[in-house]
A = this chain, B = another copy of it.
Amino acid sequence: MNTCPALLMALAFACLALSQTQGYSASEDARIIAEYKREMELDHAKIARQLVHRANWAAVGSISTNKIVEDYPMVNIVSIDDSDANGNSTGKIRFLLTDLDFTGPDWEKNNKVTLMFTEEQTLNCKNHGKDPMEPTCARSMISGQVQRFDKSDRSYKPALDAYIKRHPSANNWIKAHNFYLCELIIRNIFVLDFYGGPHQVTASDYYAVQV
Q: Does A45 contact B (CB under 8 A)?
A: no
Cβ contact within 8 Å between A74 and B114: yes
From the candidates B78, B100, B118, B122, name the one contacting A133 in the complex (CB within 8 A): B78
- CB proximity of A58 to chain B, nearest CB, Å: 8
Cα of A74 to Cα of B59 in the assembled complex, Å: 10
Contact with B along A38-56 (1 / 0, CB 8 A): 0000000000000000001
Cα of A169 to Cα of B137 in the assembled complex, Å: 12
From the candidates B73, B102, B132, name the one contacting A57 in the complex (CB within 8 A): B132
Cβ contact within 8 Å between A200 and B68: yes
Chain B positions within 8 Å of A134 at CB level:
169
Q: Does A69 contact B (CB under 8 A)?
A: yes
Cβ contact within 8 Å between A69 and B143: yes
Cβ contact within 8 Å between A72 and B132: no
Interface of chain A residues 53 through 96 with chain B (CB within 8 A): 56-57, 59-64, 68-69, 71-79, 96
Which residue of B is nearest A169, CB measured?
B131
Cβ contact within 8 Å between B77 and A116: yes
Q: How large is the interface on A (under 10, 10 to 19, 20 to 34, 35 or more residues)?
A: 35 or more
Cα of A38 to Cα of B115 in the assembled complex, Å: 35
Chain B positions within 8 Å of A73 at CB level:
61-63, 73-75, 112-114
Cβ contact within 8 Å between B75 and A141: yes
Cβ contact within 8 Å between B77 and A114: no
Cβ contact within 8 Å between B79 and A187: no
Cβ contact within 8 Å between A60 and B78: no
- CB proximity of A170 to chain B, nearest CB, Å: 8
From the candidates B64, B122, B132, B187, name the one contacting A69 in the complex (CB within 8 A): B187
Cα of A29 to Cα of B48 in the assembled complex, Å: 58
Chain B positions within 8 Å of A118 at CB level:
57, 77
A-B contact pairs, 9 of them (CB 8 A): A63-B63, A71-B112, A72-B112, A73-B75, A73-B113, A75-B114, A76-B139, A78-B133, A102-B190
